[in-house]
C-alpha cells in the first residue's frame, strides 16, 4: 500500500525566511510520480510540481525548489525568501501508475498536509 | 490551460435533500475524473474514480448508493449526494486528468463546500 507522510503539521516563519517542507513516501511500485500541491485559504488546489521516479534531478522554479532523494524516499520542498502569500496548506502526493487494460489508473495518495504560515 | 470548473461552490440545504455537484474540464478532454472529500484541517480522501462511459470505481468504505457518480462525457462528471445528512457536510473536490496525458498531473476544481442543516 502507498503512504505519504508529512511529519510537520504546522510551520510558522517570518517573511524572507527560507522554509523546507518534508515529505516521505512508501510504495512498492518502481514507477511512480510525486507531486506537490498548494491549497490556499480559498480552498482550491494548485499544482506545483510533478516528478517521476526515474528523475532524481533537483528542480528550481523561482523561489521554489524540490529535492528528490530516492535512497531516503523523500521529496522535500523548499521556499526561499518566503512571502505572506505563501501561507497555505501544502500537500505532497504519490501516484501509482499501473496500467489496467491499457488505461493508466493514476490514483493519488495525499499526505496529511503542512500548514505554512508566513508572518509579515 | 487545464482548467477544471466545479459547481456549485457552496451549498446549504436541509437534511434529506439530494445535492448534485458538477465537475467540468473547460479546455481539455478528461477520460478520468476523481472525486475527493476533505474534512476541516484534514487531507483529501479519494472517494471514487470516474471513467467516461463506464461505472465509477469506489474506494473502500464509500457507499456507492449514497454518492452517485455519472461521467456522461469527456468534459463532465457529476457527484450526487443522495438524501444528505449532517454527517455528509464536507468539502468535496473533483479533479480531472487530460485524455492525452496518461501520467500527467490531476487538475483540481475549486471545490464545493456542502453544509447540511
The per-residue pLDDT for B19 is: 97
User: Does residue A107 surpass a pLDDT of 70?
Assistant: yes
- For residue A85, which phi and psi values (nearest 5 degrees)? -65, -10
Handedness of CA A76, A77, A82, A87 (dihedral sign): negative
User: Does residue A73 surpass a pLDDT of 70?
Assistant: yes
Confidence of residue A31 (pLDDT cuts 50, 70, 90): confident
- For residue A72, which phi and psi values (nearest 5 degrees)? -110, 5
Mean pLDDT lowest among A101-105, A109-113, B58-62 = A101-105
Give the mean pLDDT of B46-75.
Answer: 90
Q: Chain B closest CA to A26's CA: distance in Å? A: 17
**Contact call for residues B36 and B91 (beta carbons, < 8 A):** no
**Contact call for residues A53 and A5 (beta carbons, < 8 A):** no
Give the mean pLDDT of A20-32.
Answer: 93
- Give the distance, in angstroms, between the CA of residue A38 and the centroid of all CA atoms in the same chain: 9
C-alpha cell at A10: 504546522
Q: Is A84 helix (H, G, I), strand (E, B) or coil?
A: helix
- Residue of B4, B44, B112 to mutate when probing chain A, most A C-beta within 10 A: B44
Q: Hey, is the C-beta of B20 within 8 angstroms of any chain A C-beta?
A: no
Amino acid at each position: 500500500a502507498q503512504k505519504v507522510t508529512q511529519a510537520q503539521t504546522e510551520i510558522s516563519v517570518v517573511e524572507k525566511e527560507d522554509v523546507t517542507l518534508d515529505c516521505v513516501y512508501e510504495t512498492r511500485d518502481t514507477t511512480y510520480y510525486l507531486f506537490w500541491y498548494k491549497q490556499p485559504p480559498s480552498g482550491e488546489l494548485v499544482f506545483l510540481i510533478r516528478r517521476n521516479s526515474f528523475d532524481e534531478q533537483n528542480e528550481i522554479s523561482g523561489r521554489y525548489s524540490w529535492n528528490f532523494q530516492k535512497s531516503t524516499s523523500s521529496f522535500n520542498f523548499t521556499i526561499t525568501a518566503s512571502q505572506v502569500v505563501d501561507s497555505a496548506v501544502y500537500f505532497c502526493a504519490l501516484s501509482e501508475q499501473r496500467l489496467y487494460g491499457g488505461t493508466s489508473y493514476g490514483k493519488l495518495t495525499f499526505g496529511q498536509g503542512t500548514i505554512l504560515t508566513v508572518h509579515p | 490551460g487545464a482548467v477544471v470548473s466545479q459547481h456549485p461552490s457552496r451549498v446549504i440545504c436541509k437534511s434529506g435533500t439530494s445535492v448534485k455537484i458538477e465537475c467540468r474540464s473547460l479546455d481539455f478532454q478528461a477520460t478520468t475524473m476523481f472525486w475527493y472529500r476533505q474534512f476541516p484541517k484534514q487531507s483529501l480522501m479519494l472517494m471514487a474514480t470516474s471513467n467516461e462511459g463506464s461505472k465509477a470505481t469506489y474506494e473502500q468504505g464509500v457507499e456507492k448508493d449514497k454518492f452517485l457518480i455519472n461521467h456522461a462525457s469527456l468534459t463532465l462528471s457529476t457527484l450526487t449526494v443522495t438524501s444528505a445528512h449532517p454527517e455528509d457536510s464536507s468539502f468535496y473536490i473533483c479533479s480531472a486528468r487530460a485524455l492525452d496525458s496518461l501520467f500527467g498531473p490531476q487538475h483540481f476544481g475549486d471545490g464545493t463546500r456542502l453544509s447540511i442543516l
